[in-house]
Amino acid sequence: MANVLYINSSVRNTGSLSRQLSAEFVAKWKAANPADTIVERDLAANPVPHLTEQMMGAFFTPAEARNAEQAHTVKTSDTLVAEVQAADVIVIGAPMYNFSVSSTLKAWIDHIARAGVTFKYTETGPVGLLTGKKVYVFTASGGVYSEGPGAAYDHLATYLRAVLGFLGITDISFIRAEGVAMGEQALADTLAKSRQSIAELVAA
């Protein structure tokens, strides 16, 4: 039995391919693994706050030294961190916005990337503390950025690999619906490819 954390970061409730495909994957996963627990967090419906100076100050204050206001400030971050720590599998719907992740997903990452909590610094360098987790990222983009001339603009996959790897999460699969604005055939082809990947991943 596994704990699955499902994160949606598309700002659109309708018409979002990353939301649609990630939901299809989670539904198939649940059908294949009915005993698993699914925790859903929709960053569009319930966005987490962007970092502020007060938040950073609270993060870097030891728990036992925080005042009441600081303790309240870190509650959201603590909840998000606990969700990630408890997860065996993380599913992220992450559309590409302006070559990178949405601001809501970046805010979520800023809350879970906590020194001394999800990573630590040692004499030999940083060490991620969120090990042993599998991540599936469902992304959608109007153009093609996994290869060819557009690859240089892909700051979504490169960023997520880097930041999640920094936290100790290195087993990451990207399921891309790309070129969706390049005509009906391109859209049909990439959706078929994505759905084939979903079937193969759930069956694995």
Q: Which two tokens stand for residue 2?
A: 């596994």
Annotated binding residues, written as ranges, equal 10, 16-18, 96-99
Contact call for residues 80 and 43 (beta carbons, < 8 A): no
DSSP type of residue 44: T
Contacts 24+ apart (CB under 8 A), 194-198: 194/21, 194/138, 195/21, 195/24, 198/21, 198/24, 198/25, 198/28
Q: Per-residue DSSP letters for 85-133?
A: HH-SEEEEE---BTTB--HHHHHHHHHH--BTTTEEEETTEEEES--S-
Distances (CA, A) of 174 to 76, 157, 171, 194: 28, 8, 10, 10
Let me know: does 106 contact 137? Beta carbons within 8 Å. Answer: no
Overall residue count recorded for the chain in this entry:
204
Residue positions forming the annotated binding site for FMN: 10, 16-18, 96-99
Helix (H, G, I), strand (E, B) or coil at 176: strand
